[in-house]
Amino acid sequence: MPAPGGDRPRPTPAPATAVIERLEPEELRDLLANGGRVRLIDVREEEEWRICRLPGAELLPLSRFAEWAPDFEPGPGRCVLYCHHGVRSLRAAAALAAQGVEGLADLRGGIEAWRQRVDPSLPAY
C-alpha cells in the first residue's frame, strides 16, 4: 500500500517567480492566538485527517487537487496550507500560485513540526 499521497498525480510546480510565504509553527500559533483571519487548508489524505488536524482546518487532499483547485479562492486574510511534513502543502501552494492564486502560505514542517513545537498533545504518526 503506498504512503498517503504517494503514487497520485502531482500538480505542476509554480514558476520560480511565485512567492509562497513559509510560516514557522510559532508564527502560525501567534497569528491564530491574536485573532488573525486565517483559512487553514489541510492537503493530507482523509486517513491522516482522522488521526489529527489543526482546529478549524478544511480538508482538501492533494490527491484530489484537480477537483478542487480550479475554483479555489483563498478567502480573506491569510490562507495557510499544511500537510504532514510540509512537502505536499508546498507543492499544492506552488501549483495554486501557478494558476494565479495569491496570498498563500505554507506551514514549514507541517503538522509534525506543529506537534513538536506547539502542541505535543497531537498524536504522532
Taking only the tens place, the pLDDT of each residue in 81-95 is 999 999 999 999 999
111 falls within a domain: yes
- Structural domains in the chain (count): 1
Query: Do the bridges between strand 38-42 and strand 58-59 make them parallel or antiparallel, or are there none, so unpaired?
Result: parallel
* pTM listed for this prediction: 0.85
Domain with 44 in it: what CATH number?
3.40.250.10
124 falls within a domain: no
Dist. CA 72–CA 50, nearest whole Å:
23
Catalytic choice (57, 79, 83, 95): 83
Domain span at 50: 21-69+78-117
52 is catalytic: no
16 falls within a domain: no
Taking only the tens place, the pLDDT of each residue in 68-80 is 999 999 998 899 9
Residue 66 predicted with pLDDT over 90: yes
Dist. CA 115–CA 71, nearest whole Å:
31
DSSP letter for each residue of 101-122 = --SEEEETTHHHHHHHHT-TTS
101 falls within a domain: yes
87 falls within a domain: yes
Sheet holding 58-59, edge to edge: 21-23, 104-107, 78-82, 38-42, 58-59
- Could you tell me how many helices (H) and strands (E) the chain has, helices first? 5, 5
Nearest to 32 by CA among 92, 102, 118, 123: 118
